[in-house]
Amino acid sequence: MSIHGHDVGFRRAGDGPPILLIHGIAGSSQTWGQVMPLLARKYTVVAIDLIGHGQSAKPPGDYSLGNQASALRDFLSVLGIERVSVVGQSFGGGVAMQLAYQYPENCDRLVLAGSGGLGREVSLLLRILAVPGVEYALPILFPSFVRDLGNGMVQFLHNTGFRHPRAVEMWRAYASLSESENQQAFVRTLRGVIDPGGQSVSAMDRLYLAARIPTLIVWGDRDNIIPVRHGYEAHDAIPGSRLEILEGVGHFPHVEEPLRFAEILSEFMDTTEPSNFTLEERRELMLSHDSAPSVPDGAK
């Protein structure tokens, strides 16, 4: 598919109420490979390659959350999907929240899995990769011969029956960065949301808007990239939201426990009504929120 003259990679399966799956940074729609067939039994499932990722174009320019959300709106329009339940993992969670914030008329439900944009903390590795000038070291850090060797090893282990989905997902991200254009897109994307001190973008001041959209938060209790505490804090900040903590699971619940993830998502879809949050209602909610009197420090 081409939108505005740029290629857009995506996967589509199933029939029923639509679900949009949004991957994390340095990822692609491939990350949803095990979950899609499970969800496609009941839903129309669409997994996109964000701008700068997978099979989508990697042009120079704007890789911000806002531009990614606008691209998703246009993508849904071309597919003829007016409203959708949005599922975002890691960086994709930040994009999902931005989509729901900018275009509430397009979002039936919001699902955040190990989402970014909910606190300052993030892994040391990502903070190091956000240091100015690191882009000049990426060809050394991510050489193609290491990718080829690693891909061969992953295939060998797979053939012998060894399974470690979290490690495989991390390897996919590493391998994707062996391509020069991917490295450039990665740096642009990363610096839009992370600086050497941590995450630089936060949705916490706008989470009150999500109270009008059915919201599910899924997190692994062993997430060493974005701490599970962010999930608890987002749950507290969004009245009526649901929180599912998966024991023994890391940053990729949809990869590490695909069946459980699909069951949780399906149950959420079946037991909630689609949002009817409109732009006018959003405006009124923002006005009422910002006009509410603040409570002075120390007041009871």
The catalytically annotated residue of 223, 230, 235, 275 is 223
Q: Is 53 a catalytic residue?
A: no
Neighbours of 8 (CB within 10 A): 22
Residues 6+ apart with CB under 8 A from 181: 58
257 backbone dihedrals φ, ψ, rounded to 5°: -135, 65
**Secondary structure of residue 107 in the 3-state scheme:** strand
Distance, in Å, from the CA atom of 208 to the CA atom of 46, rounded to the nearest integer, reads 27
Residue pair 246/272 in contact (Cβ under 8 Å)? The answer is no
Instruction: List the strands of the sheet with 10-13, edge to edge.
Output: 10-13, 44-48, 18-22, 84-89, 107-113, 215-220, 242-246
The catalytically annotated residue of 56, 85, 90, 115 is 90
Distance, in Å, from the CA atom of 62 to the CA atom of 40, rounded to the nearest integer, reads 32
The catalytically annotated residue of 23, 235, 251, 254 is 251
For 217-246, b/e burial (b = at least 16 CB within 10 A) is bbbbeebebbbbebbebbbebbeebbbbbb
Measured CA angle at 73 (ends 264, 213), to 5 deg: 40
Distance, in Å, from the CA atom of 114 to the CA atom of 121, rounded to the nearest integer, reads 12
Q: Is 251 a catalytic residue?
A: yes
Q: Is 90 a catalytic residue?
A: yes
* C-alpha distances out from residue 115 to 17, 22, 272, Å: 23, 11, 21
Distance, in Å, from the CA atom of 63 to the CA atom of 58, rounded to the nearest integer, reads 9
Catalytic residue numbers read: 90, 223, 251
